[in-house]
Structure formats: structure tokens, C-alpha cells
């Protein structure tokens, strides 16, 4: 594989953005030097239903990720830990470097050129997120550290405003700890009651039980869009509509969804939607809370300090307008810019193309892993993407993960921050292979071959 040429991927001079602040005339800074475009007609990338090789230039995409050129334990890196974090394309790395090299400044009030450039870059990234999610306004896009912080914000602001003693909070049995513990903290503070919707053995929400629990009229429903253990794609639009029928407000955890599926928050009608930048090929430490404007306006601030104020006296404080009311202190400016670059990159590939390719390689991986003697796969929903959790009889999962790593294959092992779900399946943990835009059938074949060799007792070098 040809090593990436960083010079050929240098972003254009206007990459930081020079649009007039407060307008939607965001500068277009997409590079034409993405490797995935060099061997494919861009228009072909959205033609699904054919062989992925004809519609999706995965080898070109791989060239855009420098880390995929390295070796681990003497073998080419195979990154199957995408549900934990994704690798970063060269354009994201360069966006971060360029911001710090050319435009580093605090934002919004500096009376100098670098402050203007930094502010434009930061707000341009917010507009990119707005478009990415299909939100109505950038006022509905709040920058935070990630999904976890976003859920905590909603629980401690909206939750404390509407939830009282005996009120119901409805979760599901497949939630990540980040969508359980914040609601438990709210439960402890208010005397609310948490209920969990059961799932089927195939790893799907039991919609009949869901509706029964909705008849108790919960104040809040918090559900994952895609399970980080099972890969199940939940029927969010239907679940939101059902919850609204019974008067509930709905938060959707999109951490495992937005990298893999087209998402439009207005079509879903979600009240809140949250995700993390590092799950979609962007930097760590940056994430997003989308909230309907009317809800955000009614919610009290979560943290106090600079930026989230309009006027302060020792007697009282008037808070800033949306979204800044929820962004106390100096934000993660550079990583927001990096998130914008990651969004550009995914949009350039085409989100429908990504969805089609990843569903096909997920089906292939499930099929091949199921052929292994003693393999147990968790999560067999027909609506599934990207995440495969499994065990192999006779091999402790930690040992198998270590053997895979010796071959350069990165997986994750453990309870995956979903201990209630593990208990449902009667296990302590599992190995998780999670796929991304750059994974290939050949890598899946190497995963399966390595597991078979371990079963045969082969010594792996």
C-alpha cells in the first residue's frame, strides 16, 4: 500500500473559514485530494445494491488514514475497535495542526484578527454539525466533551425541572452505562423510578413491553439509537412517536449511530440527540447535544462562568442566548474544528454509501464468525450494523483478545459499559469486533483465520 503523502492532502488556504459570522454562508473547504476519490467516480459512491467493490472505494479510504500504514507486533494493524474510538483521516489531523499553527485564539470577543478567524472556524463547525444532523438552527447545537457529558447535562437541567417524586424514567435493557448512571443520579435526587424495557434474545427492543411501560406515562425516555454491544438499530422514529403519544420527552443516544447511518433529528422528532466526535473519525474531547430550541430555552444552565452569561452583577446574572447558555468557559475550539473536518470527510464519501457498505461487511463478518466451532454471537437483529460481540467456547475472551493483538488485530474485551445487558445474556463479558469505513473482507478473513488457529492450538507469532 502506498504511504500517504501529507503534502498532497494540504487543505486550502480558506480551511479555517472566512464566512461572515451569524450567517449560514459557510465556506466550503473540502479537499479534492482524498484518496478515496482518486479511483472512483464520486457519483458512483451512492449506487447501492451492487457489489461493494463497484460502489465503494475502501482501499482509497484506507490511504486517507495514516495510522493504518503502521504495524503492530510485526503485523499490519487491523482496527476492529471502532465502537470505542475511530481512527482519524489525514484531513482531520491537518485541520487540528493548521488551527494551532495559524489561527489559535479564544473565540467570540477578541478584538483582533486571530479571534475573528478562530470564531469563524468554531461557528462554521457548529453549522456543519447542524447540517449533519438536519437540525433547524445552530442555536440547537451545543458543544460539549462528548455523549456522556451531554446526557448528564440533560438529566441535571431538563430532568431536574420536570421529574419529581414517583415519576417514571424509561430506559432499555441495552443501554450503555452513560445512559443509565446519569438517570440514577437524577433518581437519587428526586425520588423518581427507573424502568428498563426488556429485549428479545435476538437483541431487539420488545415493542409490546415498551408500550405497556409507556402507559405509565414516564416523563423521560432515554434510548440508544444503535447498541454498542449488539449493533441493533432501534426503530427510533417509531419509538419516539410512541413516547410522544404518552407525553414523554425523548433523548436518543446516537454515539454508535451517526458514523454508520444517515441521521435527521427532525425526521426522527427526537427532543434531544447526543453523540461524540471521536466515534465519527473526529477528535476526542468534543461532542454534541442537539435539543429542540423550545426545550433548551426553558432549561436552566448547567454550569456557570464565562461565555454563558449576558450581564452579571453581585445581585443577579442574566444568561446568554442559545446555545452559549450551556457552554460555560473556553470551549474545545480546535477539536470542534477537527469535528467539522471529520463531518466534511464523511459527507464527501456519502452517508448512504457508508451505510450500505458497512451493513454488507457486517453481514459477511457475522456469517464467517458463525462458522467457527463453538462461536456464540450476541445480537442477531436483521436491523444491525457494525458491532459484533461474541465468545468462543473453550477460549477465555481475554486470552483470545491477547492472541488477536499478537497478530495486529485490535478488538475490545469486557462488559463494554453495559453490565445489565451482559447479565441478561448470562455472561460477564465478550469480545467485540466493531467495524468502520476502512475495514475490509480481507481483514475479517484474517480475524476468522486467527481464531481458528487459536482453537487448533497453533503458536501465533
Q: Which residues are designated catalytic?
A: 417
Q: Which of these, 169, 120, 101, lies nearest to 18 by C-alpha position? A: 120
Half-sphere exposure of 155 (CA within 13 A, CB side): 29
Angle of CA points 129, 274, 156, to nearest 5°: 130
Q: From the DSSP assignment, how many helices (H) and strands (E) are in the chain?
A: 16, 17
Please report the beta strands in 75-136, taking only residues with DSSP state E, as ranges in sequence order: 75-76, 78-79
- Helix 333-349 vs helix 351-370: crossing angle, to nearest 10: 80
* Strands, sheet with 272-276, edge to edge from the N-terminal-most edge strand: 141-144, 287-291, 272-276, 249-253, 220-224, 168-172, 193-197
Q: Which residues pair with 143 in a beta bridge?
A: 288
Length of the chain: 461
Q: What is the DSSP track for 269-337?
A: T-SEEEEEGGGGTS-TT-EEEEE-HHHHHHSPPSS-SSSSEEEE-SS-EEEPPTTGGG--SS--HHHHH
User: How deeply is 20 buried, as exposed, middle or buried, from its count of CB atoms within 10 A (0-12, 13-18, 19+)?
Assistant: exposed
Q: How far is CA 452 from CA 31, 78, 370, 392, 423, in A?
A: 42, 17, 12, 10, 27
**Rounded Cα–Cα distance for residues 256 and 258 (Å):** 6
Nearest-Å Rg of the Cα atoms of the chain is 23
341 grid coordinates: 473536518
Amino acid at each position: 500500500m502506498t504511504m500517504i503523502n501529507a503534502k498532497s492532502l494540504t487543505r486550502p488556504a480558506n480551511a479555517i473559514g472566512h464566512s461572515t459570522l451569524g450567517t449560514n454562508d459557510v465556506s466550503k473547504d473540502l479537499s479534492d485530494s482524498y484518496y478515496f476519490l482518486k479511483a472512483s467516480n464520486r457519483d458512483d459512491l451512492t449506487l447501492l445494491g451492487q457489489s461493494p467493490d463497484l460502489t465503494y472505494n475502501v482501499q482509497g479510504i484506507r490511504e486517507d488514514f495514516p495510522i493504518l500504514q503502521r504495524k503492530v507486533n510485526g503485523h499490519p494493524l487491523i482496527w476492529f475497535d471502532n465502537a470505542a474510538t475511530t481512527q482519524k483521516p489525514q484531513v482531520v489531523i491537518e485541520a487540528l495542526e493548521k488551527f494551532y499553527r495559524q489561527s489559535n485564539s479564544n473565540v467570540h470577543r477578541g478584538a483582533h484578527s486571530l479571534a475573528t478567524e478562530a470564531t469563524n472556524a468554531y461557528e462554521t463547525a457548529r453549522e456543519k454539525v447542524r447540517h449533519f444532523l438536519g437540525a433547524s438552527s445552530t442555536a440547537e447545537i451545543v458543544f460539549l466533551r462528548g455523549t456522556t457529558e451531554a446526557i448528564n447535562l440533560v438529566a441535571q437541567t431538563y430532568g431536574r425541572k420536570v421529574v419529581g417524586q414517583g415519576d417514571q424514567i424509561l430506559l432499555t435493557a441495552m443501554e450503555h452505562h452513560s445512559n443509565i448512571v446519569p438517570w440514577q443520579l437524577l433518581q437519587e435526587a428526586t425520588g423518581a423510578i427507573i424502568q428498563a424495557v426488556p429485549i428479545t434474545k435476538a437483541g431487539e427492543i420488545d415493542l409490546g413491553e415498551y408500550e405497556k411501560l409507556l402507559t405509565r406515562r414516564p416523563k423521560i425516555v432515554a434510548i440508544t439509537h444503535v447498541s454498542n454491544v449488539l449493533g441493533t438499530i432501534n426503530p427510533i422514529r417509531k419509538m419516539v412517536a410512541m413516547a410522544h403519544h404518552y407525553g414523554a420527552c425523548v433523548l436518543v443516544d446516537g454515539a454508535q449511530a451517526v458514523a454508520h447511518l444517515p441521521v435527521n433529528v427532525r425526521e426522527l422528532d427526537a427532543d434531544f440527540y447526543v453523540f461524540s466526535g471521536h466515534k465519527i473519525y473526529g477528535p476526542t474531547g468534543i461532542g454534541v447535544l442537539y435539543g429542540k430550541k423550545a426545550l433548551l430555552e426553558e432549561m436552566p444552565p448547567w454550569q456557570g462562568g464565562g461565555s454563558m452569561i449576558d450581564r452579571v452583577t453581585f445581585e443577579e446574572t442574566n444568561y446568554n442566548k442559545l446555545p452559549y447558555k450551556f457552554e460555560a468557559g473556553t470551549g474545545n475550539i480546535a477539536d470542534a474544528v477537527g469535528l467539522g473536518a471529520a463531518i466534511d470527510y464523511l459527507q464527501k464519501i456519502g452517508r448512504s454509501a457508508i451505510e450500505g457498505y458497512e451493513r454488507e461487511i457486517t453481514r459477511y463478518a457475522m456469517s464467517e464468525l458463525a462458522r467457527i466451532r463453538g462461536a456464540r454471537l450476541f445480537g442477531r437483529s436483521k436491523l444491525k450494523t457494525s458491532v459484533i460481540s461474541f465468545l468462543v467456547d473453550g477460549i477465555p475472551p481475554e486470552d483470545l483478545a491477547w492472541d488477536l493483538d499478537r497478530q495486529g488485530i485490535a478488538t475490545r474485551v469486557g462488559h463494554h459499559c453495559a453490565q445489565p445487558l451482559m447479565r441478561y445474556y448470562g455472561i460477564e463479558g465478550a469480545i467485540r469486533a466493531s467495524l468502520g469505513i476502512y475495514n475490509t473482507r480481507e481483514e475479517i478473513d484474517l480475524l476468522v483465520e486467527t481464531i481458528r488457529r487459536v482453537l487448533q492450538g497453533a503458536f501465533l507469532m
